[in-house]
Structure 1
Amino acid sequence: MANILITGGTGFIGIPLVKKLHELGHKLKLLIRESSNTTPFKDLNGIDYAVGDVQDISSLKKAASKVDAIYHLAAYTGIWAKDKSIYYNVNVKGTENIANVALENNLKLFYVSSFTALGPTPQEPVDETHENEDFFMEYEKSKFQAKKLVKSYIPKGLKVMIFYPGIVYGPGDFNIFGRMLFDVMRGKLFPLGICPGKGEAMTCLSYVYDASNVLADAINREDLFGEDFILGGENVRFKEYLDLIAKIGRDKKAIKLPFTFAMAYAWLLEVKAKFNKKSPFLTRPTLRAIKYHRSYSSKKAIDKLGYKITPLKEGLEETIKWYKEYIEEIKK
């Protein structure tokens, strides 16, 4: 069993990953901030916590003491930020700090990136060798830069695997797509149930437990260091995804919204965000990004890691069931 440091362990993918690694008997230490919510792990014995930040290399070095491996999931994933430098500081510089600590201490590194690091695609699925730098969002740019940086450490001797999940969905998600799903379950018009433009672009969705399970198993695959893996799911048109959610959740179809109207609405949300300091659920860069195909093949992960993909309809049914139960719970 390994001694593992996990960054981003209290995040959406991190929570089921921590639980799975704990179930497998590994000794875990989570890098957290003072404000981190560790409630999901209150019933798990033997988890240690180290207060720190990926931007603070001294705290990383201290946290990495007496561990064999690092799972690096921490990232700034918001679609909007008042100060855009946060994307570089956390996602790029923070990842560089992790890579340096791992290399200096001969630690195994499992870096969870994002399919956005590979860029937009043709309609047909692409593999891990694909690169397209036509980015619209600061998040995408930062994940691409971080991926390139981590790969540059491999010739130096870094033992690392890189993973690119798709749009991760599942029970407990309150990121951008999770918020969208939560809103449609509550009968809100925006943002879900609305399809900006024609919705013809392909998108790749990953069920959270599919990703967390294969990530946990990767700790035993030392033969695969130096490789990267797409952890995707079904590739579907954006409108088909919204239709499926609307049908399962509210027995309706998504309403198509003219793209120019959606862009104007997103602009208003951005202006509002500058005053109330709250992140908008929709931005113009996000809308531009979803106009392009994001179609990815998980064949390599399936063949080499035994990655299993839950059918989208099945995963969404489980997710929507969770949201319904959650909505009833918060009503009490």
Structure 2
Amino acid sequence: MQSMKKILITGATGFVGKVLTRYLTEAGYEVRALLHSSPQSPNLPMGIPVNVAVADLNDARGLRSALVDVNVIYHLASEERRGAEANLLRTDIQGTQTLIEAAQDAKIERFFYLSHLGAERASAYPVLTAKAIAEDHIRKSSLNYTIIRTGLLFGKGDGFTTGLTKLLRLVPFFFFIPDGGETILQPLWVEDLVTALVWALDDANTRRQTYEIGGPEFLTFSEIITTIMEKLRLRKTFVSIRSPYLRMLTVLAEYFLPRPPVTTYWLDYLATNHTCSLTAISETFNLLPSRFRKRLDYLED
């Protein structure tokens, strides 16, 4: 029975984690959120019954305790949104490896990992390299894993459209876009991703598989900005700037602002196209994904 499944989520307080926690509890699963020790109160979803286990991803003993009676792991935790302060080696690579070892010892039935389109060991971009290395550790394990590489994710509380909205409202008249804004992206609504993650749990055919999924349309970065401006009823003139110069400005913002609207890893994502088959999510999960323009009402809040 679904009610008997016990699921551990790493990154449960993050953008995707909050939505996934809500979906799983509504579906009758018992959810346990893995939190690292912190003096701050955890930003858990409100009004949702969630158990909590406190352990660092590199704390093998703490992970073993957190996995008692757990059947399934959704591994979403990553340092990428911390920008210049991120420690990808410790969290995304070593932390994943420690979690895999603990999961194997606990005989976990299913292990889901969220990655990115374009994850490659030889990538010039740190996040994509870290994701690829973590994927390799998972594939070499004995776990019944499912790796899902996604396109650009958007939704309420994301690190992309929300940051762009802040910038668009902040800067007067002009808006800098890297290299003409010609990078092609494939925005995927977070609710569609989470639906696929939950449905995959009951599909045995998704075991020991890697999938690439994105939204139902290819959009250039400039088209995405234009769509957001239309939603916000704003007008700005685009000014193209070479990526290295924009990166220098972003590095300065990361060091001088407590919560910068964009990070260097965010710019890395815009340095190259991130796409897959337009029909991948429909063919794999029988899901019709939402178009970008149709799911932006949260930006008006």
TM-score by length of 1: 0.80
* 8 Å CA contact retained: 2:175, 2:236: yes
Distance 1:59 1:277, change over 3 A: farther
Q: What percent identity do the matched residue pairs reach?
A: 22
Deviation per CA, 1:262-301: give whole Å up to 9, x if none. Answer: 6335314424645x48465456675465232222225343
How far did residue 258 of structure 1 move? 2.7
Q: Which residue of 2 aligns with 1:144?
A: 132
Picking from 223, 229, 238, the partner of 1:240 is: 223
Picking from 131, 134, 156, the partner of 2:123 is: 134
How far did residue 251 of structure 1 move? 4.1
Distance 1:297 1:192, change over 3 A: farther
List structure 1 segments (4+ residues) > 6 angstroms apart after TM superposition.
none
1:258 aligns with 2:246: no
Local SS of the residue matching 1:230: strand
- 1:57-76 equivalences in 2 (<5 Å): 57-76=60-79
State how far apart, in whole Å, the 2-side matches of 1:181 and 1:99 are. 37
- 1:1-332 equivalences in 2 (<5 Å): 1=2, 2-33=5-36, 34=38, 35=40, 37-41=42-46, 43-45=47-49, 47-78=50-81, 80-82=83-85, 86-107=87-108, 108-117=110-119, 133-136=122-125, 138-153=126-141, 157-173=142-158, 175-184=159-168, 187-189=169-171, 193-233=175-215, 234-252=217-235, 255-259=238-242, 263-271=244-252, 273-274=254-255, 276=256, 278=258, 280-282=260-262, 287=267, 289-297=269-277, 299-316=279-296, 318-320=297-299, 324-325=300-301
Distance 1:225 1:271, change over 3 A: same
Local SS of the residue matching 1:10: coil
* 8 Å CA contact retained: 2:166, 2:261: no
Number of residue equivalences? 294
* 8 Å CA contact retained: 1:114, 1:164: yes
The amino acid that maps onto 1:241 is I
* 8 Å CA contact retained: 1:80, 1:280: no
Q: Which residue of 2 aligns with 1:328?
A: none
State how far apart, in whole Å, the 2-side matches of 1:229 and 1:309 are. 15
The amino acid that maps onto 1:148 is D
- More deviation in 62-71 or 214-223? 214-223
Distance 1:181 1:192, change over 3 A: farther
Local SS of the residue matching 1:54: coil
Deviation per CA, 1:159-216: give whole Å up to 9, x if none. Answer: 010111221111122x2442122332xx212899432221112112111111111112
Deviation per CA, 1:65-97: give whole Å up to 9, x if none. Answer: 001111110111136324x6x101100111111
How far did residue 28 of structure 1 move? 1.0
Instruction: Name structure 2 gaps, 5 residues minimum.
Output: none
Aligned alpha-carbon RMSD (Å): 2.6
The amino acid that maps onto 1:227 is Q
* 8 Å CA contact retained: 1:115, 1:164: yes
* 8 Å CA contact retained: 1:17, 1:212: yes
State how far apart, in whole Å, the 1-side matches of 2:25 and 2:278 are. 26
The amino acid that maps onto 1:314 is K
State how far apart, in whole Å, the 1-side matches of 2:88 and 2:11 are. 15
How far did residue 57 of structure 1 move? 1.7
- More deviation in 93-102 or 190-199? 190-199
Local SS of the residue matching 2:119: helix
The amino acid that maps onto 1:37 is P
State how far apart, in whole Å, the 2-side matches of 1:196 and 1:190 are. 18
State how far apart, in whole Å, the 2-side matches of 1:31 and 1:201 are. 35
State how far apart, in whole Å, the 1-side matches of 2:231 and 2:257 are. 34
State how far apart, in whole Å, the 2-side matches of 1:296 and 1:254 are. 30
State how far apart, in whole Å, the 2-side matches of 1:181 and 1:79 are. 19
Distance 1:166 1:280, change over 3 A: same
TM-score by length of 2: 0.87
Distance 1:288 1:181, change over 3 A: same
State how far apart, in whole Å, the 2-side matches of 1:62 and 1:150 are. 21
Distance 1:312 1:78, change over 3 A: same
State how far apart, in whole Å, the 2-side matches of 1:247 and 1:254 are. 13
